[in-house]
Amino acid sequence: MAEVVSIENLSYAYPDGQRALSGVSLSIQEGETVALIGPNGAGKSTLLLHLNGLLHSHDGVVKVLGHLVYEKNLKTIRRLVGIVFQNPDDQLFSPTVFDDVAFGPLNLGMKEPEVRCAVQQALKVVGMTGYEKRTPHHMSLGEKRRIAIATVLAMSPSVLVLDEPSANLDPYGKWHLIALLRSLPQTKLIVSHDLEMVQALCSRVIVMDEGSVVASGDPQVILEDKSLLAAHRLFAPSAGASK
């Protein structure tokens, strides 16, 4: 399998001096669905923001499909990597669903027929066909999250990065989302505290704490290691979640 994401010895400190990442190295292969888990403050979200250049460090190397993530490559990188934020209201800001989903393709310079096709296809994939004229802010959280995913899919990314995608969803909404994510062919990196979802969806789990990778491996091995999870303020999922 081809290497899609390569991170080598990445460190990062915020302007106030708070160190968020310390020598992180990891590799993600084409087609993998990888979970990034760990306690609050572990550096997970900071790491995600380096994948499309929203944050940049001079200490370490980040590559996506062989492209260095740095200023001159950002247009290419942001087409390759789609980030779905935890709060869909951070992603949905237009008066209609169509406008929100069309925003990315328009910024890529697509012509109007291509934009319309991209919007229709993205909404079809997330099961939201017919919502084009709806106002996103009047929708349920589950619907908003699907539209947020559609805004990213409309740009045909190779990598999907999702930050706490199941947060605040009811059980039906969560399993509906899991089914959707399973159906998507993209390589996926998912930050989540929902270890039941991780167990059901992911092919590999990476544990982070205090800005470093502390474990990586098969979900069954990682999620059954109660001492490892407890050491990093995590709890094993309930029995019954499965792929």
Tell whether 94 is covered by a domain: yes
Instruction: Identify whether the C-beta of residue 29 lies closer than 8 Å to the C-beta of residue 2.
Output: yes
Q: In 3-state terms, the chain is what percent helix, strand and coil (to 5)?
A: 40, 25, 40
Averages of pLDDT over runs of 10 residues in the chain (243 residues) are 94 94 97 96 95 93 95 91 94 96 93 96 97 93 96 96 95 94 97 95 97 96 95 80 49
Q: What totals of helices (H) and strands (E) does the chain contain, helices first?
A: 9, 10
162 strand-pairing partners = 84, 190
Q: Angle at CA 24, nearest 5°, toward 20 and 26?
A: 140
Task: Please tell me the predicted confidence (pLDDT) of residue 137.
Answer: 87
Question: Is 180 within the bounds of a domain?
Answer: yes
Q: Are 143 and 128 in contact (CB under 8 A)?
A: yes
Largest CA distance in the chain: 55
pLDDT of residue 67: 95
Distance of CA 235 to the CA centre of its chain: 22
Tokens of 65: 């499909």
Any idea what the Cα angle at residue 30 is, between residues 25 and 36, rounded to 5°? 45
Residues in CB range of 227: below 8 A, 6 or more apart: none
Residues in the chain: 243
The DSSP symbol for 45 reads: H
What is the predicted pLDDT for the residue at 1? Answer: 72
Contacts of 192 (CB under 8 A, 6+ apart): 35, 36, 37, 162, 164, 165, 166, 198
pTM of the model: 0.92
In a domain, 238, yes or no: no
Classify burial at 15, counting beta carbons within 10 Å of its beta carbon; exposed 0-12, middle 13-18, buried 19 or more.
Answer: exposed
Instruction: Give me the number of domains the chain comprises.
Output: 1
Is residue 113 in a domain?
Answer: yes
Domain membership flag for residue 209: yes
* CATH number of 169's domain: 3.40.50.300
In a domain, 178, yes or no: yes
Residue 236 lies in a domain: no
Residue 240 domain-assigned (yes or no): no
DSSP 60: S
CA distance 124 to 132: 11
Q: Is 44:55 a contact under the CB 8 Å cutoff? A: no
**Residue 190 structural domain:** 3-231
Residue 85 Cα to chain centre, angstroms? 7
